[in-house]
Structure 1
Amino acid sequence: MENLSEDVIENSTVNCTIDHRIHQVLSPVVYILVFVVGLPANCLSLYYAYLQVKVKNELGIYLCNLTVADLLYIFSLPFWLQYVLQHDNWTYNELLCKICGILLYENIYISVGFLCCISIDRYLAVVHPFRFYQCRTMKAAVVVSIVIWTKEILTCCLVFKHGEVSKDLESHVVCFEHYPIKTWEHNINYYRFAAGFIFPFSLLLFSYYGILRVVRKSHGTQKKKKIQIKRLVSSTIVIFLVCFGPYHILLLVRSLFEKNCEFAATIFNIYHFSLLLTTFNCVADPVLYCFCSESTYQDFAKIGDTCLRCLRCTQIETKESYQLNTPETFRKIKKQAEQQPELLNKTHVVHEMEETSINTFPKGKEI
């Protein structure tokens, strides 16, 4: 291990005496759980996202990026685990501290960004199936993905230009912990709260409200699928609030009221508990968007049948999965509407698009 040089931290000292017991008790359990569950779950989710890309479904682009952001953070968890087990003493160099911190924040805000992209894409597919079709192409998805990654990387470069390691009163080198909060962090936290939580949450509410309104009025959508869509939409909102809400609210509280060590010590445990909740996003994403899909259940049944067939050397009949629709389906419906307007009125087309949009919810992460 490469130790930090004294000149790096001699002018950066944490003056507060904080009880870090939550790091030794709760954090290791969460990090190990998320790593053990999140790594295989996200690898499987990445495979399903790849299948979407393979059939030219633009959602696959967003899903791949979302899963990659989760995996990058999961790979940094062993370093954070060692850090908390050594009583918050960072034994690596400052560059690795910055990289791990960047992966933490990138996971939060890139995940939020691509969740918004997925919700907007579904909104346009269901509510405006023809009007904004050009916004739902593979090329558009790639451009949007590049913009999101570039924005977040540039933001991190601006935010993390300060020294991110400090020395506490017990001579432990702490990483990404400043108590009380630094002056330069206030405006950054206000930006995170507004652009990283309030604005994306508003987009999610707007998009899913529009989807639910159209699905509720649709007479061509099966009741079972309506229930499934409502369940997934409500679950998405709840998980967004649980994983990201407490952390951003406490960021705002710290920026407004944390002026001394006494307040920092008071809010330390609940703030770090909220930070641990953001870590569960790595598990919640694949569980919600992959394993709640009916078609995914059938895929797992096929995988299980294949394994049994290998073990028993017998032919086991598997259930047929729903055929995966692609954007080509939209073009066929649109062409039919243009050629036969008297046979296919607008209401019928919209209902057809609703059905297609519902069935094109990705096998990876839905809505």
Structure 2
Amino acid sequence: MNNSSCISFDFTGKFLPPVYILVFITGMVANGLGLRSVLQKWEKLGNVSVFVFSLGLADILYLLTLPFLMVYYFKDDQWIFGEAFCKTTRFFFNLNLYGSIGFLTCISVYRYLAIVHPMRMMGRITVTHSVAISVMVWLLVSAQSLPDMFFPKSPTNNTKRCFDTTSDEYVGDYLKYSLGWTLTGFCIPLFITLSCYGHMIAVLCRNDNIDEVLKQRSLKLLFILILLFSVCYIPYHILKNLNLLSRLSVIKGTCHKWSNGVYIGHQISRGLVCLNSALNPLVYLHVSEDICSQLRQLLQQARQAISSLYSSNQTSVTDT
């Protein structure tokens, strides 16, 4: 059975380009301001600044690939940049996704240690340790993402495509790889993060000696992580694997009633997961209050520029 007779692919080209445009503009501005703020406040932020900087770097690397994906979908799924760059683009997406999860997990563990074991950890974790852990995360995520580049990203009879997973011939193998990747790259970090925050919340609730500001900041970070995982990461991993399973069934000649719904859901989850590059700067807001004033200043400048432009246009109309 042909995939096109079971699944309608029109939704992707209509949905993803506007999302990519929004994420590219918002993400570049927010991450640019965030990284500048982190560099200015490097010593004040302490060891966690290494992870926040790495998080921003992963976002920037992915955001720079979005214009090429916009062109791809605007040209009706015609990839004109070569197979090697197609695989590189997908690699940077995976590097951003699992790098973000990894660095958010590191930030959560550091916050947990600072609150639950402050005296035991005081002075024992240095910037050197943070850099070493950050390098390990980069290497681990790269090793997890590298096999993806060995899967074909276009059909054998059409080199002008750039699949986010692989061609139909290798879907079965890719599904096995994706399930293992989901376990190691997502489920284990999610379990570590939930364990840290579960214990941390228990300690915060029963200990009245902990600073109230520290409690509020910890709860804010918990809210940000819940937002990122529930909106960006959980739907993507569930629907990605369901979509691969659906494709495998279609290839074998079985078209389920839910196949098209799963495909559309997967495309929506792809849009949601790329939002993490625009939402990750919320972590900067948590670790640096300075970026809040920078964002307010930027918005104020934008309003002044628009007002000035409007006034000049009104003057021109009056003169004519």
Asked whether the two chains share a fold, i.e. TM above 0.5, the reply is yes
> What CA deviation, in whole Å up to 9, does each residue of 1:176-218 have, x standing for no partner?
3546561221221111221122211111111112222222233
Give TM-score scaled by structure 2 length.
0.80
What letter corresponds to residue 291 of structure 1 in structure 2? L
What letter corresponds to residue 269 of structure 2 in structure 1? S
Q: Are 2:121 and 1:127 aligned?
A: no
What letter corresponds to residue 296 of structure 1 in structure 2? D
5+ residue gaps, structure 1:
1-13, 308-367
Q: Are 2:65 and 1:81 aligned?
A: no
> What CA deviation, in whole Å up to 9, does each residue of 1:17-48 have, x standing for no partner?
25322222211110010011110100111112
Distance 1:87 1:60, change over 3 A: same
1:238 is aligned to 227
Name the one with the larger helix percent. 2
What letter corresponds to residue 84 of structure 2 in structure 1? L
Aligned residues of 2:87 and 2:153 also touching (Cα < 8 A): yes
Where relative contact order (Cα < 8 A, 6+ residues apart) is larger, the structure is 2
Percent identity over the alignment is: 25
Counterpart among 96, 115, 135 of residue 146 in structure 1: 135
What letter corresponds to residue 28 of structure 1 in structure 2? P
Counterpart among 274, 280, 284 of residue 279 in structure 1: 274
Counterpart among 165, 173, 177 of residue 161 in structure 2: 173
Residue 165 of structure 1 aligns to a residue whose secondary structure is coil
**Further displaced range: 22-31 or 109-118:** 22-31
- Please give the root-mean-square deviation of Cα atoms over the aligned residues, in Å: 2.9
2:47 is aligned to 58
Distance 1:90 1:175, change over 3 A: farther
**By how many angstroms is 1:225 displaced?**
5.5
**By how many angstroms is 1:220 displaced?**
3.7
Distance 1:212 1:15, change over 3 A: same
Alpha-carbon distance in structure 2 between the residues aligned to 1:63 and 1:111: 10
| Aligned residue pair count | 291
- In the TM superposition, 1:1-367 aligns within 5 A as 16-17=3-4, 18-55=7-44, 57-133=46-122, 136-166=125-155, 173-178=161-166, 180=168, 182-221=171-210, 223=212, 226-257=215-246, 258-261=248-251, 262-263=255-256, 265-286=260-281, 288-291=282-285, 295-296=289-290, 299-300=293-294
What letter corresponds to residue 27 of structure 1 in structure 2? L
Distance 1:203 1:16, change over 3 A: same
Alpha-carbon distance in structure 2 between the residues aligned to 1:85 and 1:177: 20
Distance 1:222 1:301, change over 3 A: farther
Alpha-carbon distance in structure 2 between the residues aligned to 1:54 and 1:294: 12
Question: Which one has the largest radius of gyration?
Answer: 1
Residue 155 of structure 2 aligns to a residue whose secondary structure is strand
Aligned residues of 2:153 and 2:161 also touching (Cα < 8 A): no
What letter corresponds to residue 283 of structure 1 in structure 2? A
**By how many angstroms is 1:279 displaced?**
0.5
Aligned residues of 1:216 and 1:226 also touching (Cα < 8 A): no
Aligned residues of 1:16 and 1:168 also touching (Cα < 8 A): no
Aligned residues of 2:38 and 2:49 also touching (Cα < 8 A): yes
5+ residue gaps, structure 2:
302-320
Alpha-carbon distance in structure 2 between the residues aligned to 1:98 and 1:178: 10
**Further displaced range: 174-183 or 234-243:** 174-183
Alpha-carbon distance in structure 1 between the residues aligned to 2:217 and 2:143: 38
Alpha-carbon distance in structure 2 between the residues aligned to 1:45 and 1:297: 6
What letter corresponds to residue 260 of structure 1 in structure 2? V
**By how many angstroms is 1:254 displaced?**
3.6
Residue 91 of structure 1 aligns to a residue whose secondary structure is coil
Alpha-carbon distance in structure 1 between the residues aligned to 2:90 and 2:157: 18
Aligned residues of 2:45 and 2:287 also touching (Cα < 8 A): no
Give TM-score scaled by structure 1 length.
0.71
Distance 1:140 1:222, change over 3 A: closer
